[in-house]
């Protein structure tokens, strides 16, 4: 069944209306960011990522919009990220991966464009990148242990983790001096050529997710072995990197 993007736009509009009705003047802006903001949304593996900028984050203020958030959750979407404008600015250095990605792919649904002039310091980027890669690698190993040789479980583990690792691979390239956002496949293949790892598992997973290949033509255990090995090699490489001398505000 084709994805109904028009219905999703109506859903987003309804959610914004509910937020505005309950938050009132406390709500500064609502921003859609990530794959849904630039046409790369995949209904099975992507989320609608929403950033809500508010003036006050007290329990009373959050409680006012809790009903809207619960309505959104019942539509099977994650609750929005709620920050003040000051928090957005003050934490940009420790969330350089997330905020620099936000600035590259976003759409203002309501209120002010708080991302346009946001400066994202990159001096902690490599440290965050190392942490994120290692944390997700350790979690991946746990899920692989639970999946064992169960084909469906292994496919689910890999397909559900794919976007996180391709995002981090793009940021490894940034740390290596590459500027500009690359599509996931291009980023993986370029990083593979630089770090000398086999990118085939990532390519196969992207094709399975994009329905251009049938997973039945691959053995999940074989794909998982190459997938895990590639991630381990990238994580080890990042461990030995020095922070990029070009790490400045983005």
How is the chain split into domains, by residue range? Answer: 5-111, 125-240
Long-range contacts of 128-131 (CB under 8 A, 24+ apart): 128/94, 128/95, 128/96, 128/97, 129/97, 129/168, 129/171, 129/172, 129/175, 129/238, 130/235, 130/238, 130/239
pLDDT of residue 210: 85
- In angstroms, the CA 208 to CA 202 distance is 10
pLDDT of residue 44: 65
Residue 82's DSSP bridge partners are 52
Q: 237 φ, ψ to 5°? A: -65, -40
The residue length of the chain stands at 250
Q: What CATH class does 5-111 carry?
A: alpha beta
pLDDT of residue 2: 43
Q: What is the mean pLDDT of each run of 10 residues along the chain (250 residues)?
A: 67 96 98 82 72 98 97 93 98 96 94 97 96 98 96 96 95 90 89 97 94 90 97 97 61
pLDDT of residue 42: 62
pLDDT of residue 1: 39
What is the pairing mode between strands 49-54 and 81-83? parallel
């Amino acid at each position: 069944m084709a994805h109904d993007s028009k219905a999703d736009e109506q859903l987003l509009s309804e959610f914004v209306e509910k937020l505005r009705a309950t938050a009132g003047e406390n709500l500064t802006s609502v921003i859609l960011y990530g794959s849904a903001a630039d046409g790369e949304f995949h209904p099975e593996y992507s989320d609608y990522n929403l950033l809500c900028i508010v003036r006050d984050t007290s329990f009373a203020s959050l409680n006012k919009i809790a009903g809207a958030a619960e309505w959104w959750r019942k539509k099977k979407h994650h609750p929005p990220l709620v920050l003040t404008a000051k928090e957005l600015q003050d934490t940009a250095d420790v969330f350089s991966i997330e905020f620099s990605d936000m600035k590259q792919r976003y759409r203002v649904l309501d209120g002010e464009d708080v991302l346009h002039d946001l400066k994202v310091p990159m001096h902690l980027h490599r440290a965050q990148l190392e942490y994120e890669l290692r944390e997700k690698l350790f979690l991946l190993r746990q899920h692989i242990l639970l999946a064992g040789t169960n084909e469906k479980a292994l496919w689910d583990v890999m397909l559900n983790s794919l976007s996180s690792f391709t995002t981090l691979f793009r940021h490894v390239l940034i740390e290596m001096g590459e500027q500009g956002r690359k599509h996931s496949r291009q980023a993986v293949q370029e990083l593979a050529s630089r770090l000398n790892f086999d990118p085939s598992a990532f390519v196969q997973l992207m094709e399975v997710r994009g329905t251009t290949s049938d997973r039945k033509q691959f053995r999940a255990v074989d794909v998982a072995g190459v997938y895990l090995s590639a991630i381990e090699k990238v994580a080890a490489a990042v461990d030995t990197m020095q922070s990029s001398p070009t790490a400045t505000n983005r």
